[in-house]
Amino acid sequence: MSVPASLVAAARAAVPDAGVDQPLGALTTYRVGGRADVLARVESVDQLVALARALAGPGRPGSPPAPVPVLVLGRGSNVLVADRGFPGVAVVLGDGLAGVELAGTTVTAGGAASLPVVARLSAAAGLTGFEWAVGVPGSVGGAVRMNAGGHGSDMAATLRRVRVVDLRSGEDGWMAAADLELGYRRSRLGPHQVVVAAELELRRGERERAKAEIAEIVRWRREHQPGGANAGSVFTNPPGDSAGRLLDAAGAKGRRHGTAAVSTKHANFIQADEGGSADDVAALMAELRELVRAHAGVDLHAETHLVGFTAEQAEAAGARLLTGLEGAAAATAAADPRPEVEG
């Protein structure tokens, strides 16, 4: 346990249910990986701001010498947590932040709202432009951070602004989508910036047409994507090519490392065995990169974010390591807020 007791107490003052040594990997769609030193489920913006102030530390009597690593987890559909777990404070947004409001063509959704729910509610209200999201099993907050997309669209296409709480300062404010530097599966949001709400601007459409499109996307996904414990596409597509095609051509389908295997249906999906190991998934990711490098001379980059792994493991897997606020690294980030490069 590397989170100081004083900080656990401060976190509990803000979020009474915050638990120590809680399962974290189990909250991801891979369903493998270890525990978080502290897990706090927040139900309101006020509670999140109070937690942020508690975590900010400096200036608080008995505050720890350095900020602890923090992590916000959405629906865990693009995160792999190491078997050794996460030595910090993990924040999950609860149902209190999952509301969806429709007013005219504007949809305001909480950071914890499920993308498929937002897609279906919008279509049922005769709004078009968000049907694609029915196939992405993430939260609105995670989708903004990743600029999730599919079927020819992405979050950037309709996102107008987001409400962000900064876990470093407790600041709470709206940011324009244009300031998020949304790109292919990336944004400039850092691990300390929690999206608590997003405003989408959709268009008036025909309800039946939107619902038919949703049904077609669901059918297509069932036909083309495997089930089981996975995090969707493991690697992003390199410019002008498809990671799935490259992996398939290199003979990746069915390849196994311990308890992790490449789907035989889709070469860019890894499935974890029940009770399996996250470190096996990461090792398989590294092997797949080597395979494609040797076969096609292309360097693949992971879409999946890694938590609690070593820098070497993340580099080998071609993945972004979410370390959150960590001592000197956090201080550097505060002084030099460079955009993050995802994947």
Question: In the range 137-196, which residues lie near ligand FAD by CB under 6 A?
Answer: 137-139, 141-143, 145-146, 148-150, 189, 191, 194-195
Q: Which of 136, 214, 267, 278 binds ligand FAD (CB under 6 A)?
A: 136
Size of the site for ligand FAD (CB under 6 A): 35
Question: In the range 93-132, which residues lie near ligand FAD by CB under 6 A?
Answer: 93, 111
How remote is the C-alpha of 255 from its chain's centroid? Answer: 26
- What end-to-end distance do the CA atoms of the chain give, in Å? 29
Which residue's CB is nearer to ligand FAD, number 255 or number 305? 305
Which residue's CB is nearer to ligand FAD, number 146 or number 159? 146
* Helices 5-14 and 45-56, packing angle to 10 deg: 160
Six token digits for residue 86? 């996460």
233 is known as an active-site residue:
yes
Phi-psi region of 23 (alpha: psi -120 to 50; beta: other; left: phi over 0): beta
Which residue's CB is nearer to ligand FAD, number 40 or number 126? 40
Q: Which of 14, 80, 281, 322 binds ligand FAD (CB under 6 A)?
A: 322
Q: Is residue 40 within the footprint of ligand FAD (CB under 6 A)?
A: no
Judged on CB neighbours under 10 Å (0-12, 13-18, 19+), 234 is: buried
For tokens 């596409």, name the residue.
Answer: 233
84 is known as an active-site residue:
no
326 is known as an active-site residue:
no
Instruction: Identify which of 271, 267, 322 has the alpha carbon closest to the alpha carbon of residue 296.
Output: 267
Instruction: Identify which of 183, 2, 167, 168 has the alpha carbon closest to the alpha carbon of residue 92.
Output: 167
Which residue's CB is nearer to ligand FAD, number 75 or number 289? 75
Residues that bind ligand FAD (CB under 6 A): 29, 71-79, 93, 111, 135-139, 141-143, 145-146, 148-150, 189, 191, 194-195, 225, 230-232, 305, 322
Catalytic residue positions? 185, 233, 303
